[in-house]
Amino acid sequence: MKIKTLLAFSISLLAAAAWADAAPKPSINTTAIAMFLAFVVVTLGITYWAARRTKTTADFYAAGGGITGFQNGLAIAGDYMSAASFLGIAGLVYTSGFDGLIYAIGFLVGWPLVLLLIAEPLRNLGKYTFADVASFRLQQKPIRILAASGSLVTVIFYLIAQLVGAGKIIEYLFGLQYETAVIGVGILMTLYVTFGGMLATTWVQVIKAVLLLSGASLMAFLVLSQFGFSFEAMFSESVKLHAKGEAIMAPLAQKPDAISAISAISLGMALMFGTAGLPHILMRFFTVRDAVQARRSVFYATGFIGYFYILTFIIGFGAIVLLINNPNYFAADGKLLGGTNMAAIHLSHALGGDILLGFISAVAFATILAVVSGLTLAGSSAISHDLYATLVLKGVRDEKKEMRASRFATICLGIIAVLLGIVFENQNVAFMVGLAFCVAASANFPILLLSMYWRKLTTRGAVLGGALGLLTALVLVVLGPTVWVDVFHHEKAIFPLKNPAIFSVFIAFIGIWLFSILDKSANAKAEEAAFDAQFVRSQTGIGISAAAEH
Amino acid sequence: MSHSEQIRALPEYIALTRARKKIVWPLSIAVVVAYFALILAIAFYPASLGAPIGDGVTSVGIALGLGIIIYCMVITGISVSYANRVIEPLTRAIAQKAGALK
């Protein structure tokens, strides 16, 4: 019956997409529509296949634990390389050169840390979510509530930012109405996750990662081939053409003040530690069999992500050289059509005409779909595995009920995300990704790290310190320039930094430390005593939970 | 002695925790220091980063930035190869002995 519903949904969706073809906008590209339809058909086919293999919670949350390290590496890269980073970083390099590169680096530097500190003990201790690890020797209820809150805040802000971006890009590329685009993306992601669970989500990520990496490789290759594969020749041509000239080779702020220095460090902390606290990324480590595969996953993921940022950088410079002198890509007011985020898209047209434009547009669309699906799955796992199974079922295992709850949670999340996506259409949502990283860095990361490595961590310390980190991050973002000035239109921000991680991460660690060492309860002693056994398991994997429970 | 205490007493386990410590903290610090050094350099020495290398236009900053991307990949490579060579045989030996201890 479920599969019939799935088919019915897909047919109505295809109809909606076909309707897009008839929309009045002139910019419709048939290659794009055809490729986008092909992607939707293939991924729905995968969902159909995965739905028949998704029977238990282990299948739903962790694809039965049967994903290999290489596949998972691609899937992690798929989860992490969002359309925002592809289009956004290429656009940033196009407008300011060097500064775009630095921004991209921030998204990469967290990965070695994930490998060195997190991946293996996480896999050895947990089962489906990072809350499993955080609550391993602490009290289930309070820790899971906190971890789930951290996960949900991260997921929802990230999801809204992606959906609003998705709506705008699809509106521009395919001529669909904004609301239709957001609803369409919402329906597809809900379908993938509800029916296909982690198995479908993983394969959607893998396909998307392969598409994105090949599309970006092709573009970078075509750009470099125009300069005899010399970076120097590409840079020198860019410097000649760009309005900022040689300044694109240097940091934009030539005389930075203390605030901008602190602000850069703060953003760096959010990106670096936030990467290690993103719930949809952490969840991926439970789809592989053991710590060896987890380690292999990060190795491949880091390679793919690093390679991808180098490509994006080349694409940004390619856009400078090939677009700036071509009036076709600019509006009458001298601005790039569709905004600077469209630099990579226009470049694909400049390089390979309508066919490459169609391909890259479809890739951008696939990228959006894959990322929102991964986020939705992480959110619904936090609700069903951490909140519902612990609070409502009180830890008594009930496969059927938990499975039903997870599907119900997915549908609810899908609806909420679509509604918020529509509400925030004309708001500035740029702060939301930063906020998601900041919360991940200030709540999820400290709790996870200390629960694995610090003997004296207690439930009280983790809950109070983690909650302090979470609240500090939220409050300071609201009082900072991105919300207080850009959203609420006050004249001056109460808190000067765009990203408060430097304070909120610090407050979280200090809070956790202080409330843990002050905790003299019997509980605290028992939790400390349980550390050694936990550490043995985290290091050796002896006693590891297999995701598949057959 | 509990099972986990017995494991902790194994010479292989002691060697394992030592081997991990030897790689985990130095490499983590190497990544954190390199990244924040770059951020601080951008804040305090923007002109030096913008200076071209030799006669070309490619700046020191661009080279350093691309270098850091490669550096992150190399660090994960070193860490994985070390884990495969040194850590893996130890965890396997521990798992075998732990099975016998039960």
Separation between Cα atoms, residue B52 and residue B50, nearest integer Å? 6
CA count, 13 A, side-chain hemisphere, A247: 9
Neighboring chain B residues of A295 at a CB cutoff of 8 Å: 80, 83
Integer angstrom CA distances of residue A10 from A45, A376, A498, A548, B52 = 10, 19, 41, 30, 55
For A314-363, where are the E strands, in sequence order? none
Residues in Cβ contact with A266 at an 8 Å cutoff, skipping those fewer than 6 apart: A497, A499, A500, A501, A502, A503
Separation between Cα atoms, residue A108 and residue A296, nearest integer Å? 17
**CB of B19 less than 8 A from some CB of A:** no
Q: What is the DSSP letter of A443?
A: I
Separation between Cα atoms, residue B95 and residue B98, nearest integer Å? 5
Residues in Cβ contact with B24 at an 8 Å cutoff, skipping those fewer than 6 apart: A116, A117
ipTM value, please give it: 0.94
pLDDT in tens, A78-96: 999 988 788 889 999 999 9
Structure tokens given for A476: 């300071």
Instruction: Please tell me the distance in Å from A539's CA to the nearest CA on chain B.
Output: 8
Integer angstrom CA distances of residue A483 from A32, A197, A339, A506 = 36, 35, 22, 22
Instruction: Please tell me the distance in Å from A399's CA to the nearest CA on chain B.
Output: 30
Neighboring chain B residues of A306 at a CB cutoff of 8 Å: 69-70, 72-73
**CB of A259 less than 8 A from some CB of B:** no
Give B72: exposed, middle or buried? Use CB within 10 Å, 0-12, 13-18, 19+.
Answer: buried
Predicted confidence at residue A434, as pLDDT, reads 86
CA count, 13 A, side-chain hemisphere, A218: 16
Predicted confidence at residue A18, as pLDDT, reads 45
Instruction: Please tell me the distance in Å from B19's CA to the nearest CA on chain A.
Output: 11
Separation between Cα atoms, residue A162 and residue A433, nearest integer Å? 8
Structure tokens given for B55: 């006669």
Mean pLDDT by 10 residues, chain A (550 residues): 55 50 52 87 94 90 92 95 87 92 93 95 93 93 95 94 87 86 94 94 94 96 95 94 91 80 92 95 94 95 97 96 91 86 92 91 89 95 92 84 93 95 82 90 97 96 96 94 87 91 97 96 92 92 65
Predicted confidence at residue A248, as pLDDT, reads 92
Separation between Cα atoms, residue B80 and residue B59, nearest integer Å? 32
Neighbouring-strand partners of residue A130: none
Structure tokens given for B85: 């060579």
Predicted confidence at residue A222, as pLDDT, reads 97
Q: Could you tell me if A176 and A20 are in contact, meaning their C-beta atoms sit under 8 angstroms apart?
A: yes
Structure tokens given for A474: 């939220």
Write down the pTM of the prediction: 0.91
pLDDT in tens, B48-84: 999 999 888 999 999 999 999 999 999 999 999 999 9
